[in-house]
Amino acid sequence: MPTAIKPLRPRDIQANASATDIPLPPATLAQWLSGREPSHLSTNSGTPLVAFQAWRNFKEAFAPELIGQAFEETSLALGRKIERSIDPFGGSGTTALASQFLGVQPTTIEVNPYLADLIEAKLASYEVEALVEDYARVLETFTDVAADCFPGAPNTFVEPGRSDRYIFNAGVAGRLAGLRNAILALENPTHARLFRVLLSSIAVDVSNVVVSGKGRRYRRGWEARQSTAAQVLGLFDDAFVRAIYDIRRYRNRACLDYTLLRGDSRLLTPSQGEFDVAIFSPPYPNSFDYTDVYNVELWVGGYLNSKTSNEILRKQTLRSHVQIHRSFETEQLVSKTLDRVSTELEHVRASLWNRSIPDMVKAYFGDMQTIMANLAGALTPGGRAYMVVGDSRYHGVQIPVADILIELAEHLGFEKVADEPFRSMRASPQQGGREELIESLITLRRA
């Protein structure tokens, strides 16, 4: 549980802000990642210690070192420096941020508005003194919201909740909403974005729930261990101080440009361009819905304001889950492995925990085909696509995701360079097992 911390007053931070004037040598990827010792490229453990990545621990992120390795390999293969990268599934912004450190211009796409803001808050440049002044303004102007703090949110969101269960007590909810309103009243949208992200990112810590696996559960003994409004302010201060440190320490990344496309990568992935390398990890077809996982942040930050907005967002995500009713129609897909898997899934359809799973699996590969077809047009000849993907299993039917994607990619103008095991993950509870599922790193070359 968080401890009560005296809120940092602007004067305390002001003293440090002038340090912005001290010129720094260009920040390198190695400096950024110093202190972190991953045992393998696949592991994200240790990233909570890394600047920017600690703003919100994103356990589905891949290791930043992967980007360095992919650039080196692609640069060797092309015989020149990498100029531009693309990531159609931005998440916490690992590809884009590492690209900036490596002097490569990043383009990234993210559908979840909280995550898109998290990415942009990391990639943007700031004037630290002005940032501190606006932070002070938020602290001076906020007032706790007394009632109906998060209109439109599920009825378990704020005390009294439903059946005596609620995610936030009234004091914490009122403070979060009050701070958010003061943030949204700021004139500078870049500052407001950063503060909104930082506030949203501490929300789970002052809530009665923990987010694990695919969903939320109440903390043990939550009724007796309530957070307070003062703790909200303390954690927000901590988050701000940490962010200011990272922003100032790494303000001279080799590239400060970026392009962030907010929305559905099935529609937004460019089909033309001059990208040298695509590095990404899409959601896996394992019924994990990122809208659920980041739901608390989405509501606290005001990114969602009605049940409908929640549904619209879910429908814009890749068809990797069955929690929402939508069409699973898909175009013709040329993959013998997918044909075999589809037949096997058809045989077990009646026993599946959701009867739409066979259709969802096909639709997933239809969506991935759309993304890969666009990338085939957007990558320079000889350019590479690196994809971290994971298998799934439903009622004993294994979905060899990497094999199927490679078969599809070979019809789209890609050649396989490598298909390596990346890490293994536990089967989800829905898949009923403790056995491990494979994750792979696929490397493709644009012919």
Ligand X SMILES: C[S@@+](CC[C@H](N)C(=O)[O-])C[C@H]1O[C@@H](n2cnc3c(N)ncnc32)[C@H](O)[C@@H]1O
Interface residue list for ligand X (CB under 6 A): 58, 60-62, 89, 91-92, 94, 109-112, 115, 264-266, 281, 283, 290, 316-318
The amino acid that residue 71 corresponds to is: F
Strand partners, 261: 109
Q: Could you tell me the smallest distance in angstroms from the CB atom of residue 136 to ligand X?
A: 31
Q: Both tokens of residue 217?
A: 């559960």
What DSSP string describes 110-156? Answer: E-SHHHHHHHHHHHS---HHHHHHHHHHHHHH-----S-SSTTS-TT
Q: Which residues contact 239 (CB under 8 A, 6 or more apart)?
A: 55, 198, 199, 201, 202
Tell me the one-letter amino acid at 102: L
- Using DSSP, state whether 421 is helix, strand or coil: strand
**Other Cβ atoms closer than 10 A to 72:** 12
CB of 261 to ligand X, least distance (A): 9
Closest among 413, 419, 411 to 443, alpha carbons compared: 419
The alpha carbons of the chain give a radius of gyration, in whole angstroms, of 22
The Cα 345–Cα 353 span in angstroms is 12
Q: Of 229, 204, 240, whose CA–CA distance to 219 is shortest?
A: 204
Q: Residue 13 or residue 98: which is nearer to ligand X going by CB?
A: 98
The residue (of 128 and 261) whose beta carbon lies closer to ligand X is 261
Between 111 and 138, whose beta carbon lies closer to ligand X? Answer: 111
Q: Which residue is nearest to ligand X (CB)?
A: 91
Is the Cβ of residue 115 or residue 182 nearer to ligand X in the bound state?
115
Closest distance to ligand X from the beta carbon of 101 (Å): 14
Amino acid, single-letter form, for residue 377: G
Q: Toward ligand X, which CB reaches closer, 71 or 89?
A: 89
Q: How far is the CB of 115 from ligand X (least distance, A)?
A: 5
CB of 355 to ligand X, least distance (A): 23
**Three-class secondary structure assignment of 359-371:** HHHHHHHHHHHHH
Tokens 């044909």, located at residue: 339
Which residues, at least 6 apart from 30, have a Cβ–Cβ distance to it below 8 Å? Answer: none
Q: Which is nearer to ligand X, 179 or 372 (CB)?
A: 372
Residue 235 CB, shortest distance to ligand X, in Å, is 22
Q: CB of 91: closest distance to ligand X in angstroms? A: 3
